[in-house]
Chains A and B, each alone.
Chain A
Amino acid sequence: MAAPMAALGGRLRAWLPRLTQVRWSRYNPSYIEPEVNKELYRKPPVELAEEEKEKLERKALQPVKAAPPSLSSSVFSDPMISKFTNMMMKDGNKVLARSLMAQTLEAIKRKQLEKYHKAPADEKETIECNPYVIFHQALKNCQPIIGLTSITRGGKSYQVPVPLTDNRKRFLAMKWMITECRENKHRRTLMPEKLSQELLQAYSNEGPIIKKKHMLHKMAEANRAYAHYRWW
């Protein structure tokens, strides 16, 4: 994206103000990203190949960027959970968002463990008690395969089916989950309880968010005729 913008700016320099990037880094290009993975540092020198040894030696002399607060070296950190927590956050209150996420995971675990302990021995294997597995599977089940975008042609705007990138799919799944839990609940129900309920429903491919995904797929199927309006 940066290259065509710069070229455009160069050609129309006479009458267009200089275009500057909105998001850019003040760091000198020699600064390297911080490496948080402890496993890499624990490998004994005998196992490393020649290039890796050289790379480590060079790294010891290069300056390192400051680690952002969201980067964690904990073995329990999960990027998807962090992203979901950030999306749940309101007004920058990360403490509250994180505690809500923790309570949600605990609620899922409690519900599943109760079911597990009450179930007969042969059904015990089928009950999944790990809240992280349930979370990831539920969000995966909520991801749409194809999306719709509005394209204006001849003055009229049409809903055109369009492929979605992975990031967009993940974003849509999380967004739908959070909006559903914020809006369609009883005034007195708390977020962790509603979220745990929706995640468990999505894990078993039921519930309002899965329905919304199917509606989107149906709309895309119905508007199949306009697919050629897409030019990318």
Chain B
Amino acid sequence: MLRSLRGLLCRPRKLDHGYALHTAAKDCLSAAVSQDAHTPAPTPRAVFYTSENNPANHGEQHEGRHYSIPLEEVRAVFPHGLPYRFQQQIKTFNEAFLMVRKPALELFSYLKSSNFAHPAVRYVIYGEKGTGKTMTLCHVIHYCTRQGWLVLHIPDAHLWVKNCRELLQSSYKKGRLDQPLQASSWLKNFKTSNERFLKEIKTQRRYVWDKRESTEQGRPLGEVVEQGLARVRSASDAVGVVLKELKQQSHLGSFRLLVAVDGVNALWGQTTLKKEDKSRVSPEELTLVYNLRKMMMNDWTGGAIVTTLSQTGSLFKPSSAYLPQELLGKEGFDALDPFVPIPVPNYSHREFESCYRYYLDRKWLQHENARTEDGKEELRFLSGSNPRQLDRLAGPL
């Protein structure tokens, strides 16, 4: 009863003023109109919308509903990591709405009830193409950021194993290769999302970068990041140092660490990079991949590791592969074993309805036949309730 009433009440929104007035007016209008029985009105927002903006309070009753993330928070929490099409939607609608789905709720219950004195548990989100794995990961990241965790988010590990213009020989270890561009862009985004932690965490030993520069013990971690950004040659080593420090200090309990990696199967697959003598580079010869693999081991406490498998950017994997064994290969599976698998299915009936109503409400479906029952059934059939296909189909309509 309360649930249905909640959708009909006008409430002020926490966005900027001009937009708040418009949406408050729209809410009142849609509430007023939906109370009329005879007009074919826009349906009440309670079906696809919830005002609960804190992911910590999301429960079963919010399943299938969209919640909004304020735009400043989007810029702070997700400097990288949101899918490109979702970023375009945010730009067009001027707001970020994320659907609450079962896999994310499952992950929240595991994270809430996990014992942080035990070694970090690894969660692997898998599913077919376009079912919402990356968005589930983003939901979890938002939850952890709201809870005050330190989030180590690698938006797409596949970007580190392909299309790299510059490969430098590592000065730290012979035989390893550095990737300055990828490392520096990741450090920049890491700095944006975790400003306050970089001031609090101190280094535990002295790091020498080259003949002239070094970072003393006890300096804030932000200095290491600045060093990596200023001297691009040592960016990959800076990333390695950051990962090592975080892993060593997470058991102290001053912060909780979430390692979120999208496309984790890239770490144990093959690369398309070639050395100067045209021989293939294997992933462990890359500094970034080597250090990230150490992070994925469950020999540290005080946090969790949430990863996603992805066939979309992967190399040398058939397009029908989506199960962990197929995408990770023997080496990867053994490295990640034991893990908690979290499958992400296509939209259920209710979730499809919710997404469809959301598109109608935001005026994304403009075709006059898209509003009819025939149009809805056709969209359901053509997309197969797959979120990505539905998004692609609804684009030109």
Residues of A within 8 A of B (CB): 38, 74-76, 101-106, 109-110, 113-114, 116-117, 121, 129-132
Asked if residues B375 and A105 are in contact (CB atoms below 8 Å), the reply is no
Interchain CB contact under 8 A, B396 and A75: no
With A38-B374, A121-B22 already in contact, the answer to whether A105 and B363 are too (CB < 8 A) is no
Closest 9 CB pairs of A and B: A105-B396, A106-B395, A102-B396, A75-B369, A130-B366, A110-B92, A75-B374, A106-B396, A113-B92
Q: Verify B363–A113 contact, CB threshold 8 A.
A: yes
Q: List 9 A-B contacts (CB under 8 A).
A: A38-B374, A74-B378, A101-B396, A104-B396, A116-B363, A129-B363, A130-B368, A131-B366, A131-B396
Contact with A along B5-30 (1 / 0, CB 8 A): 00000000000000000100100000
* Across-interface contacts of B93 in A (CB, < 8 A): 113, 117
Which A residues lie within 8 Å of B88 (CB)? 110
Q: Which of B93, B372, B374, B396 has the most CB of A within 10 A?
A: B396
- Closest B residue to A131 by CB, please name it: B366
Residue of B nearest to A77 (CB): B369
Residues of B within 8 A of A104 (CB): 396
Q: How far is the CB of B96 from chain A (nearest CB, A)?
A: 14
A130 touches B396 (CB 8 A): no
A76 in complex: contacting residue of B22, B25, B94, B370, CB < 8 Å: B370
- Residues A75 and B363 in contact, CB atoms below 8 Å apart: no
A76 to B372, CA, bound (A): 11
Judge if B397 is at the interface, Cβ distance under 8 Å.
Answer: yes
Q: How far is the CB of A212 from chain B (nearest CB, A)?
A: 27
B230 CB → nearest A CB, Å: 33
Residues of A within 8 A of B372 (CB): 75
Interface residues of B in 345-373 (CB under 8 A from A): 363-364, 366-370, 372
Interface residue from B91, B367, B375 paired with A130 (Cβ < 8 Å) = B367
Mark B residues whose CB is within 8 Å of A: 22, 25, 88, 91-94, 363-364, 366-370, 372, 374-375, 378, 395-397
A131–B367 Cα gap in the complex (Å)?
8
Residue of A nearest to B394 (CB): A106
> Cβ of B366 and Cβ of A109 under 8 Å apart?
yes
Determine how close the nearest CB of chain A comes to the CB of B238; give it in whole angstroms. 35
In the docked arrangement, what's the CA distance between A76 and B91, Å? 26
Residues of A within 8 A of B378 (CB): 74-76
User: B366 to A132, Cβ gap below 8 A?
Assistant: yes
Further contacts, 6 of them, CB under 8 A, given A75-B372, A106-B396, A109-B395: A75-B375, A76-B369, A105-B397, A110-B88, A113-B92, A117-B92
A102: chain B residues at CB < 8 Å are: 395-396
What is the CB-to-nearest-CB distance from B15 to chain A, in angstroms, rounded to a whole number?
12
Contact of B366 among A75, A101, A114, A129 (CB under 8 A): A129
Contacts of B94 in A (CB 8 A): 117
Given the complex of chains A and B, what is the CA–CA distance between A22 and B52 in angstroms?
68
Q: In the bound complex, how far is the Cα of B371 from the Cα of A130, in angstroms? A: 13
* Chain A proximity of B314: nearest CB distance (Å): 23
A7 vs B304: C-alpha distance when bound (angstroms): 88
A77 to B92, CA, bound (A): 25
Q: Which residues of A contact B395 (CB under 8 A)?
A: 102-103, 105-106, 109
Chain A proximity of B42: nearest CB distance (Å): 15
Most chain A CB neighbours (cut-off 10 Å) among B92, B364, B375, B378:
B92
Q: Is the CB of B363 within 8 A of A114?
A: no
Return the chain A residue nearest B382 by Cβ.
A74
Closest to B18 in A: A120
Closest Cβ of chain B to A99, distance in Å, is: 10
Minimum CB–CB distance from A142 to chain B (whole Å) comes to 21
CB-nearest residue of chain B to A117: B94
CA distance A27 to B26 in the complex (A): 58
A194 CA to B161 CA, complexed, in Å: 34
Inter-chain CA distance A132–B368, complex, in Å, is 10
| Complex Cα gap A95–B91 (Å) | 28
Residues of B within 8 A of A116 (CB): 363
Report the Cα distance A103→B369, complex, angstroms: 19
In the complex, the chain A residue whose C-beta lies closest to that of B397 is A76
Knowing A105-B396, A121-B22 are in contact, say whether A76-B367 is a contact too (CB < 8 A). Answer: yes
Chain A residues, Cβ within 8 Å of B364 = 109, 113
Query: Distance (Å) between the CB of A127 and the closest chain B CB?
Result: 11
In Å, the complex CA distance between A133 and B87 comes to 26
Decide: A132 and B92 in contact? CB cutoff 8 A: no
> Within the complex, what minimum Cβ distance (angstroms) separates A179 from chain B?
23
Q: Complex Cα distance A74/B92, Å?
A: 27
Which residues on the A side are within 8 Å of B368 (C-beta)? Answer: 130
List chain B residues, Cβ under 8 A from A129: 363, 366
Chain B residues in 8 Å Cβ range of A105: 395-397
Q: A37 → chain B, closest Cβ, in Å?
A: 12
A210 to B301, CA, bound (A): 68
CB of A222, distance to nearest CB on chain B (Å)? 41
Given contacts A38-B374, A109-B366, A121-B22, contact A114 B396 (CB under 8 A): no
Using CB atoms, name the residue of chain A closest to B19: A117
State the CA gap A130–B22 with chains docked (Å): 21
Q: Which residues of B contact A38 (CB under 8 A)?
A: 374
Residues from chain A with Cβ under 8 Å of B363 in the complex: 113, 116, 129
Task: Collect the chain A residues with CB atoms within 8 Å of residue B92's CB.
Answer: 110, 113-114, 117
Cα–Cα, bound, A38→B378 (Å): 13
